[in-house]
Amino acid sequence: MTRENRRAALRGRGRGIGLAALAGVGLAGLGIVGLGLVRSDGPAPSPPVEEVPEAEAVVAPPPTAPAPVAAPPAPTIARPEAEALPEPEPPAPELLELEPKIAAALENVDPETRARWAREVARQQAAQVRFEQGLEASQVRARDVDARLRDALRRVELVPELLDGGLMTGLRIQSIEPGSPLAEAGLRAGDLLVRIGTERLDDPAMLPRVLADAGPEPSLCVERDGGELCRDVDLR
C-alpha cells in the first residue's frame, strides 16, 4: 500500500468513526462518553452514618437543637393573576443527561458558549479517535521517530487547531523552550505548524507516520502573519 493509499484508507476509516462520534452531538452524549477512567470501590459501603467533621473535637459542640414544633398553618393569600410567577424554564434537552450539578452550572452559560464547548469537545474526541487509529494502522512507536527530532519536539508544546470530524489545519506552537533546537531554527510561539517536508499536517491519523519519516533534517513549515515560512532544521 502506498503512503497516499494508506492516507486515503485512514481518512475513510477515521471519518466514519468521526461522524459516528458526532452523530450524538450534544452535551448529553458528550457528558457520558468515558475517558478510560473507571472507579470501583472495594468493600460495600456501610449504611450512612452521621459524619463527624475532622476538626470538630477542637471546638465546642453545637448546642442541641430544639425539638421541632409544628408550624401554624400559613394564611392563604390570593396572588393576583398579573403577579403570578412564570413557570421555571425546563432545562435545555441537551443538559438532561449530565450530572445534575454540571447541568445546573451549564444552565447559567449562554447557549452559544455551550454549543462552542460541545463542538470543541466533539472535535477533540473525533481527533483522538483518528490519532489512535493512525497509530495502530502505522504500527509506529516512539522509538521509530528520530530521537533527536523527538527530543527537539519535546521542548515545544503543540496544540491542534481542529476542524469538525477531527481533521485539523495544523499544530499551533503554544510554547517553545528558549534555546531549544526549534527556537534556534527561528520558530516561535504562535506559529501554526502546517507541514513537515511535503506532508501536510491536516490529519491526526497521519502524524505518527509523518514523524517517523521525517528524519533528523526535517523542513518545518509554519503559517505566520498570513504567510508560510519554512525552516530546515539540522538536528544531527
Partner 1 sequence: MTTRTIGAALGMAGLLLLVAGAAQANETTVRWGPIELPAAGPNGPGQVENEIAGASGFGEWLVGLFQSTADYPVPKPCSDCYITGIRPNLVLEDGTTANFNNGTMLHHVVNVNYDRPDITCRPGFSGLINLLGLALGGNERFFAAGNERTINSMPSGYGYYVRSGDDWGLIYHLMNMSPEPKTVYFEYTFTWEPAGSGIQRTRPMWLDIDQCDDSEAEVPAGYSDITWDWNADRSGYMVDIGGHVHDYGISIAFRNESRGDNICTSVAGYAPGSPYVPVGPGAGTDATHPASWNTVSTDPLGIANYMGHISDMTQCDPFSRIRKGNTTRLHTQINRPDATDHDMGIMIGFLDEDYCITNFWCF
CA–chain centroid gap for 89, Å, is: 30
189: how many CB neighbours lie within 10 A of its CB? Answer: 12
DSSP secondary structure code for residue 86 in this structure: P
Q: How far is the CB of 96 from partner 1 (least distance, A)?
A: 12
Q: How far is the CB of 200 from partner 1 (least distance, A)?
A: 15
Name which of 168, 206, 208, 166 is nearest 16 in CA terms: 166
C-alpha cell at 176: 517553545
Q: How far is the CB of 211 from partner 1 (least distance, A)?
A: 7
Give whichever of 81 and 110 is closer to partner 1, judged by the CB atom. 110
Provide the b/e sequence for 129-143 (b: ≥16 CB within 10 Å). bbbebbbebbebeee
Q: How far is the CB of 73 from partner 1 (least distance, A)?
A: 30
What Rg do the C-alpha atoms of the chain give, in angstroms?
28
69: how many CB neighbours lie within 10 A of its CB? Answer: 6
The residue with cell 511535503 is 198
Alpha carbon distance 80, 87 (integer Å):
16
Give whichever of 46 and 76 is closer to partner 1, judged by the CB atom. 46
Q: Which helix (H) or strand (E) holds 181?
A: helix 181-184
Give whichever of 79 and 101 is closer to partner 1, judged by the CB atom. 101
Give whichever of 110 and 232 is closer to partner 1, judged by the CB atom. 110
Q: How far is the CB of 205 from partner 1 (least distance, A)?
A: 10
Give whichever of 73 and 178 is closer to partner 1, judged by the CB atom. 178
Give whichever of 19 and 102 is closer to partner 1, judged by the CB atom. 102
Q: How far is the CB of 184 from partner 1 (least distance, A)?
A: 10
